[in-house]
Amino acid sequence: MIANGDIIDFKEIPNWVPLACYAAIALGTLSGGWKIVKTMGTKITKVTPLEGVGAETAGAITLFLTAQMGIPVSTTHTITGSIIGVGATKRLSAVRWGVTRSLLFAWIVTIPVSALVAGLIYLLVR
Q: 73: which DSSP letter?
A: -
Domain boundaries, the chain: 97-126
* Long-range CB contacts (within 8 A, 24+) of 9-13: none
CA 76 to CA 14: how far, in whole Å?
27
Q: Using CA atoms, how far apart are residues 73 and 55, in angstroms rounded to an integer?
A: 16
**Is residue 75 helix, strand or coil?**
helix
Per-residue pLDDT of the chain in tens (126 residues, 90 and over written 9) = 888 889 988 889 999 999 999 999 899 888 888 888 788 878 888 888 999 899 999 999 999 999 999 999 988 889 999 999 999 998 888 899 988 898 889 888 988 999 999 999 999 999
Query: Which pLDDT belongs to residue 120?
Result: 96
Q: What is the pLDDT of residue 107?
A: 85
Nearest CA-CA partner of 83 in 27, 42, 113: 42
Is 60 strand, coil or helix? helix
